[in-house]
Structure 1
């Protein structure tokens, strides 16, 4: 089997999402995805990577992956080069699954459990839907629907927690400190700002007590001194983890933060490749290892990071606040790894716009996600996607 064509697709309405389709001479087509900077990633794929892929055996996944992430400009980052390699890698695993008539989680070693607990990231229907994905600016609150959870956590987080529990979901992630970070540049937080940001935690604990786990997302917006102050203020509410409290560019600084609080640090969707994770793990800076497969090297790199995390006795928790193919890939990875703690999900996405774009979305029932069925990733782009008037398609053939 040989790779005969590489196709990239993006829709203006969902302009952060880029799909990659790997065509083969046996008629099999692998589907991959990445997120953010779709135009730059597509250019890198066609201008730089296509010549390295066309005519190759798509089942030589490890060798191809090594070549794509070993280019001089692709060195342990989540930049354009790594996002391109991630999307291609996911597509190659999809090809392998289709060629063998097996789901990707089976190729990764098989199911480690029959169902897996999820937490709900409390985004809304329009969150990160457009090109501007900066925190606060892209909240886009106000879309109609029962799962406008971003508006819900900013107005009555207690009622939202109760609603999630009624639907079997007992863990939620919120980011009420972002507005203050934008106002101060992350260098300081006033007592008034701190009190405002703590309000959702007070409402959750008052309404549902300890029945709800709370993950806190900081989007790497704070300096170390202020992040430590915020951590102390949050500790009485017993959060499950603090996610990306500072920029993930100093293992020493993150280790200092980790030593300052009893709440585990979850990191990080922003780290590229296992090399960056190893440095953080060596410093004992990470309590929960989070990976975004669409940014950090795909399934090939993701399984290595998960395995490495296990050697440090750390749990694994794949990221998902991006597109539907990435979510499917993360679910396959989660089920195949013995140290997976929990899978991120966004009900405004999987019950909303994901269904506009793909044929199958992972089934979430009573707070658990179920394994994907079917060969490969088990999902394809909806036929309607190919008929969109806002679709941008580029293809390079042999």
Structure 2
């Protein structure tokens, strides 16, 4: 079997998402995805990777992965090179599963779990329908004026009626939620300080959640790497009475020693980080006891090939693994396959505004989530494909690299 072509797809409506098809001479195609800077990633795939991959055996995944991530500048980052390699790698695993007529989690070693608990990241329905991705202020709160309101505007929910949102999630069986009410202050003050009034405002959702549902709901705190270290420690101390499950990315993920100092300052777990690329970056953080929960985004950190090595290394340090997902439907499917295959998976991130909303506009299958748990996808490969009408979109851009 040989790779005959790499095809990429992007659409104006979801300008930061890039999809990849790896085509073969046996008619089997693998589907991959990455997120952010789609046009730049597309250029790297076609201008740099295609000449190295077309004509190769797609089942030699480890060798192809090393080829992709060993290029100049593709070192332990989540930049263009790693995002491109991630998308292609996910497609190769999808193709591998299809060749063997098995789901990807079987190809990764089989199921470690019958079902996996999910938490709800409280984003809104219109996140990703933009090319401006920043915390809160550009996450497109609510529906457009010409759209019917959605019951899953969870960003607006945690910012304005957090107690009601927690009750609604519990009613659906979801017992953990992630929120980021400190972001407006972090953006306004560039992470340098937080006023007493801003602290009170940001703490209010935690008060409402605990008043409404007590300790029935776990709360993950996303800090989006916005803060300097002293302020991050102040926020952690202020939130400790509300017993959050973890603090995620409180500072920029470029100094393991600084994050270790943060982790020592609080009894709440520290989670890191979707922004790290490759197992080598994670090792430094674990060596310094800087992360209690290891989070990786497979669309950024090297795909399934690198993701399973990160999970295995986390297990070596007795750390739980919690795949990130707040991007597209193919990456979500890949993360779930990874979660089921790893014995140290703690919990799977999910966004109900996505899997009940725009994911269904793009792919044929979304994972089954019921009663606060996700269940294995059963089809060969990733178990999902781009819907036929996707290829008829007026805003679609397709680029192809093939032999000759």
Superposition TM-score tier, normalisation by shorter sequence: over 0.9
Residue equivalent to 1:274: 279
SS at match of 2:33: strand
Structure-1 separation of matches of 2:57 and 2:241: 55
The answer to whether the aligner puts 1:170 opposite 2:175 as a matched pair is yes
Deviations 1:110-139 (A, max 9, x none): 001110000000000012321100112212
Deviation at 1:390, TM superposition (A): 0.2
Partner of 2:119: 119
Instruction: Give distance in 1, aligned partners of 2:302 and 2:78.
Output: 8
State whether residues 298 and 331 of structure 2, in contact with CA within 8 Å, keep that contact through their aligned partners in structure 1: yes
Residue number in structure 2 paired with 1:195: 200
Partner Cα distance (1:367, 1:161) in 2 = 13
1:28 maps to 2:28: yes
Aligned mate of 2:391, from 382, 386, 389: 386
Equivalent-residue separation in structure 2 for 1:55 and 1:139 (angstroms):
41
Could you say which residue in structure 1 is the equivalent of 2:311?
306
Q: For the Cα contact (< 8 Å) 2:122–2:178, is it kept in 1?
A: yes
2:146 matched to which residue of 1? none
SS at match of 1:14: coil
Q: Structure 1 residue 397: deviation in Å?
A: 0.7
1:128, 1:138 within 8 Å by CA — same for their partners in 2? no
Distance in structure 1 (CA, Å) of the matches to 2:223 and 2:104: 32
Which structure 1 residue ranges, 4+ long, deviate > 4 Å from structure 2? none
Mapping for residues 42-57 of structure 1, pairs under 5 Å: 42-57=42-57
Q: 2-side partners of 1:254 and 1:116: how far apart?
A: 28
Residues 1-398 of structure 1 aligned to structure 2 (within 5 Å)? 1-143=1-143, 144-398=149-403
Which whole-Å CA distance do the structure 1 matches of 2:83 and 2:141 have between them? 28
Q: Which digits, 9 at most, give the CA deviation of each residue in 1:288-344, with x for residues without a partner?
A: 000000000000000000000000000000000000000000000000000000000
Distance 2:324 2:169 in 1: 19
Report the Cα offset of residue 141 of structure 1: 1.0
Question: CA shift at 1:67, angstroms?
Answer: 0.8
Any idea what SS the aligned residue of 2:224 has? coil
Question: How far apart are residue 236 of structure 1 and its match?
Answer: 0.4
Residues of 2 paired with 1:31 and 1:61: CA distance? 14
- 2:226 is paired with a residue whose SS is coil
8 Å Cα contact 1:6-1:396 kept in structure 2:
yes
Task: Report the Cα distance in structure 1 between the residues aligned to 2:390 and 2:350, rounded to whole angstroms.
Answer: 23
**Displacement of 1:53 after TM fit?**
0.3
Cα RMSD, aligned residues only = 0.5
5+ residue gaps, structure 1: none
Q: How many residues align?
A: 398
1:18, 1:38 within 8 Å by CA — same for their partners in 2? yes
Checking the alignment, whether the CA contact within 8 Å between 1:7 and 1:22 is kept in structure 2 is yes
**Hey, what's the Cα distance between the residues in 1 that align with 2:357 and 2:341?**
26
Shift in Å, 1:91: 0.2
CA deviation vs aligned residue, 1:219-253 (integer Å, no higher than 9, x gap) = 00000010000000000000000000000000010
| Alpha carbons 2:137, 2:184 under 8 Å: kept | no
Tell me how far apart the structure 2 counterparts of residues 91 and 324 of structure 1 sit (CA, whole Å). 13
Hey, what's the Cα distance between the residues in 1 that align with 2:133 and 2:278?
A: 23
- What SS is found at the alignment partner of 1:13? coil
Write out per-residue CA displacement over residues 129-183 of structure 1, whole angstroms, 9 at most, x where no aligned residue: 2110011221211222111101111111000000000000000000000000011
Q: Is the 8 A contact 1:122 1:172 kept in 2?
A: yes
Distance, in Å, in 1 between the alignment partners of 2:313 and 2:277 is 14
